[in-house]
A = this chain, B = another copy of it.
Amino acid sequence: MPTRVIVWGENVHEQKNAVVRKLYPDGMHATIAAALNAAEGIEATTATLQEPEHGLPKGRLEETDVLFWWGHAAHGDVSDEVAERVQEAVWSGMGLVVLHSGHFSKPFKRLMGTPCNLTWREAGERERLWLTARNHPIAAGLPDHFELENEEMYGEPFGIPEPEQTVFVSWFQGGEVFRSGACWTRGAGRVFYFRPGHETYPTYHDDNIHKVLVNAARWAHNPAPRVADPNAAPNVPVSAALEPIEQRGETLHEEGEEGFR
């Protein structure tokens, strides 16, 4: 069974900005999907903001193992309904890989529960990514460090929950550092944030970046069956208790009643 990926692209700057269009004539999402499709065992398609339901109808998410998310200029244009749908799909077991400026996207902020803020500078400076979790699956095949000659700077403090694993930390020429690759679990789904990928630079044409994207798709893929209702909070009646007990004390709920939400 291949890993079924959707690469979601905001697809705004590719349309409006000549620099971005020249680097990514078919859109950044298409370049990223092509890099994933070049790897064994991954089948990547794309979706964009402009499609109905942003290209992410419920049925499509149910048949997706990992969603990649790149957005920047139009976070506010993503509907709350789709953001919630993505969040629930992750809880059910779908993986999510959030790229670069996606740190401020609705799905990522909802899943982290934190501001996800940072400092930034668009100066085309050098970024060097260092491995901090050697032999982590997302680092497979990578050297201990690699460079991107031109990138946007993101600086600490980065407003995220303490990562379950920090895989990369970046050094920037202008003097900042940043936790560039970080992992979390949310429900049955895995979430990976990966920092590089400013749209005016050729980051998504870089071989090491391709390796990270491929590794991240594989790592984020949970092969277990999707959790049917990730919000279920079932009542276990006294009669079904695993150890014999008797009803005692006062009660609020009638036998078999639904709980409050």
Interface residues of A (CB under 8 A from B): 13, 17, 19-20, 72-76, 87, 91, 93, 101, 104, 110-115, 117-125, 128, 130-135, 140, 144-145, 147, 150, 153, 155-159, 161-162, 164-166, 169-177, 179, 184-188, 198-201, 222-224, 227, 230-238, 241-243, 245-253, 259-261
Known: A123-B241, A159-B231, A176-B236. 9 other contacts (CB 8 A): A110-B113, A117-B230, A118-B233, A122-B253, A131-B157, A135-B222, A140-B224, A166-B166, A169-B177
Is A117 in contact with B232, judged by CB distance below 8 angstroms?
A: yes
CA distance A123 to B246 in the complex (A): 7
**Which residues of B sit under 8 angstroms from A112, Cβ to Cβ?**
113
Selected contact of A260 from candidates B75, B130, B231, CB within 8 Å: B75
**Which residues of B sit under 8 angstroms from A231, Cβ to Cβ?**
115, 117, 159
Is B162 in contact with A91, judged by CB distance below 8 angstroms?
A: no
**Which residues of B sit under 8 angstroms from A157, Cβ to Cβ?**
130-134, 144
Is B251 in contact with A122, judged by CB distance below 8 angstroms?
A: yes
